[in-house]
Structure formats: C-alpha cells, structure tokens
Amino acid sequence: MTDQVQIPATVDLSKYIETRLMEKRPHIRGRRVPVALLAYSARSEHWNAVELAYQFSITEAEALAALLYYEEHQSELDALEAAEQSELEKMQQLHDRR
C-alpha cells in the first residue's frame, strides 16, 4: 500500500499576504506592495517570480504567494483596483478644478 499525499483545497497565504496596512487592498505582509500591482506587472511585463522579486525587492516566495493570491481572488482584486482608480480620478478632477 502506498501513501497518498493529500493536497489541500486552499493554501493559507497569510504568512505572505495581509490587508492591515492598506485598508482592504491585499499586499505583501509588512510592505506596501499591492498584490494586484505584482500580478499586473507580471502580466504586462512578462515577469516571472524571480524578476518580480528583484524589481520589487521582495522574496521569490512573496512574489509567488502574491501571484497565487491574485489567481484565487482575481475578480475581487480587479474590482478593488477599479474602485481605487475611480477614486484617484475623482480626486484628480477635483484638484484640476482649482
């Protein structure tokens, strides 16, 4: 009889990802590097975890955790980022009126 490895349905990424510093925006624990920024950079720049780690001065494990977190919460994070962008645009318009 061989031992079968049980793969968990979800992975606890709280060692790497938190929301404490940036309201509800998930970011690298203890840093202000948003998960969405890492995921968008990986996609637009075609960066892997090694390059993300280098570019953002984080560990490869943190980069991988961010990419996995984004993969598991993509629609939620995209909505948060769209709301954040909308707020920034409103503030810019108010500033431009002065």
Give dist(CA 28, CA 46) in Å, integer: 20
**pLDDT value at position 82?**
94
Q: What percent of the chain has pLDDT over 70?
A: 97
- Judge whether 54 lies within some domain: yes
Q: What is the pLDDT of residues 18-28, one digit of tens each?
A: 999 888 899 99
- Judge whether 89 lies within some domain: yes
Q: Which residues pair with 27 in a beta bridge?
A: 18, 34
Domain span holding position 86? 17-97
Residue 38 has pLDDT above 90, yes or no: yes
Instruction: Say if residues 77 and 39 touch (Cβ distance below 8 Å).
Output: yes
- Judge whether 38 lies within some domain: yes
Q: What pTM value is reported for the model?
A: 0.81
Say how many domains are in the chain: 1
Q: What is the pLDDT of residues 68-92, one digit of tens each?
A: 999 999 999 999 999 989 999 999 9
More confident residue, 81 or 1: 81
Average pLDDT of 37-55?
Answer: 97
Handedness of CA 19, 21, 27, 29 (dihedral sign): negative
- Judge whether 35 lies within some domain: yes
- Judge whether 10 lies within some domain: no
Amino acid identity, position 90 = K
Mean pLDDT of the chain: 92
More confident residue, 7 or 52: 52
- The neighbour count for residue 39, using CB atoms within 10 Å, is 22
